[in-house]
Amino acid sequence: MKLTSPMFADKEQIPWKYTCQGEDINPPLKITGIPEETKTLALIMDDPDAPNGTWDHWIVWNIKPTDVIEEDDYPGVFGTNSWGRTNYGGPCPPTGTHRYYFKLYALDRELELHPGASKRELEEAMAGYTIAKAQLMGMYTKK
């Protein structure tokens, strides 16, 4: 399985539009090679370079298998990010350049998890049901 974006390449700069300084909407994502037995997808976007530990930006699960997540999309059930919100929160580093990991999981079942669940709860719910993973990393420096 592979995760890409038509708006930035792996390990390249995430465009301003998709950050807290821009429109703060999710970038479009392209997914290829989803295993046939996939029932749902889950997506986590986080920043391991945050000063007080990893910052969760976007948590979504029970995404129907698809080859595209559109820009500014609501593809599944949203979890609570580190801002305490249930939506996408774009890159917004306090200083320097940070790395933002979009982590995609193919699951062999639909998750019975309450809307607004945390990343930890999602990771626990996915344990034993992940059949494939893909990752895209973008970078951003606040201007």
Q: pLDDT per residue over 91-141, tens digit each?
A: 999 999 999 999 999 999 999 999 999 999 999 999 999 999 999 999 999
Contact criterion met (CB below 8 Å) for 15 and 27? yes
How many domains does the structure of the chain reveal?
1
Mean of the per-residue pLDDT values of the chain: 97
Q: Helices then strands (H, E): number in the chain? A: 1, 9
Q: How far apart are CA 85 and CA 77, in angstroms?
A: 13
Determine what percent of the chain is predicted with pLDDT higher than 90.
99
Task: Kindly state the DSSP code that residue 69 receives in the 8-state scheme.
Answer: E
Contact (CB, 8 A) for 128 and 21 = no
Instruction: Determine the structural domain holding residue 32 and report its residue range.
Output: 2-141
What CATH number corresponds to the domain at position 36?
3.90.280.10
pTM flag (> 0.85): yes
Q: Provide the CB-side half-sphere exposure for 24 (13 A, CA).
A: 7
